[in-house]
């Protein structure tokens, strides 16, 4: 084991100890109000120290979170039921709802992964209500690229790319590129009569 890996392991352990009281106070993610308090507070920590703090906290509070993971300043998870695979990287100022993020996936700055499209409902008179709303886990596959400022409301298949600024409303198949609002298949070109994609 080289010196860099030793120092990284020591830093990882130190930050786990540092944020342990916060994870404990949140019931290791079971108390969502407290979980959100610390998630949003830690989102403001800058640089490499901020990344270590966030990763340590999420390793103890999310449903599952790999050690090999990066999450930049301003980004946070809104729900502790989320899972994060190895080598995931989340850029600055992202909000991730109820999601399962596969290994090697990259999420660009300012992207939002919402917990499905039925988080808000209106009653018969058009007023917003909590009645009938549903939170859905959004599955983002392995080795995906989610472009900057994208809004994701549906599942993304493995090795797919979502262009910057896209709004994904319907599931995306594996291995394709989508873009636009609403997102449509950009590559590969759709053959006549082919209904795959978004």
- For the chain, give every domain's residue range: 1-61, 69-190
Residue 196: is its pLDDT beyond 50? no
User: Cβ distance 134 to 118 under 8 Å?
Assistant: yes
Mean pLDDT score of the chain:
91
How far apart are alpha carbons 147 and 161 in whole angstroms? Answer: 8
**What number is the average pLDDT over the span 32-44?**
97
Per CATH, the homologous superfamily of domain 69-190 is: Hexapeptide repeat proteins (2.160.10.10)
Q: Is the model's pLDDT at 13 over the cut of 80?
A: yes
Q: Which of 66, 55, 48 is nearest to 23 (CA)?
A: 55
Per-residue pLDDT tens digits for 153-193 = 999 999 999 999 999 999 999 999 999 999 999 988 665 54
Terminal Cα distance for the chain, rounded: 45
Return the SS3 of 144.
coil
Percentage with pLDDT > 70 across the chain: 91
pLDDT at residue 197, rounded to an integer? 45
Per the CB < 8 A criterion, the answer to whether 174 and 160 are in contact is yes
pLDDT band at 73 (very low <50, low <70, confident <90, very high): very high
Helix axes 47-61, 3-25, angle to 10 degrees: 60
Q: Which two tokens stand for residue 24?
A: 């404990």
Could you write out the DSSP letters of every residue in 93-125?
Answer: T-EE-SEEE-TT-EE-TT-EE-S-S-S-EE-TT
Backbone angles phi, psi at 22, to 5 degrees: -70, -40
Could you tell me if 58 and 65 are in contact, meaning their C-beta atoms sit under 8 angstroms apart? yes
Tell me how far the alpha carbon of residue 175 is from its chain's centroid. 20
pTM of the model: 0.86
**Count of CB atoms situated within 10 Å of the CB of 106:** 18
Of the pLDDT bands very low, low, confident and very high (cuts 50, 70, 90), residue 11 is: confident
Contact 156, 139 (CB under 8 A): yes
pLDDT of residue 134: 79
pLDDT of residue 130 exceeding 50, the answer is: yes
């Amino acid at each position: 084991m080289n010196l860099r890996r030793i120092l990284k392991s020591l830093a990882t352990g130190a930050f786990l100890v540092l944020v342990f009281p916060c994870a404990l106070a949140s019931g290791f993610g079971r108390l969502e109000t407290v979980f959100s308090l610390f998630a949003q507070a830690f989102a403001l920590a800058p640089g490499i120290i901020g990344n270590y703090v966030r990763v340590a906290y999420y390793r103890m509070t999310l449903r599952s979170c790999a050690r090999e993971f990066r999450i930049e300043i301003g980004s946070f998870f809104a729900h502790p039921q989320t899972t994060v695979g190895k080598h995931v990287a989340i850029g600055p100022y992202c909000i991730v709802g109820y999601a399962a993020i596969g290994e090697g996936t990259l999420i660009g700055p300012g992207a939002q992964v919402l917990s499905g499209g039925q988080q808000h409902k209106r009653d018969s008179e058009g007023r917003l209500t909590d009645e009938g709303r549903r939170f859905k886990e959004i599955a983002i596959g392995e080795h995906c690229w989610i472009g900057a400022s994208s809004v994701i409301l549906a599942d993304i298949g493995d090795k797919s790319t979502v262009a910057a600024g896209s709004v994904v409303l319907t599931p995306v198949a594996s291995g394709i590129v989508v873009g636009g609002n609403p997102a449509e298949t950009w590559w590969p070109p759709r053959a006549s009569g082919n209904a795959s994609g978004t």
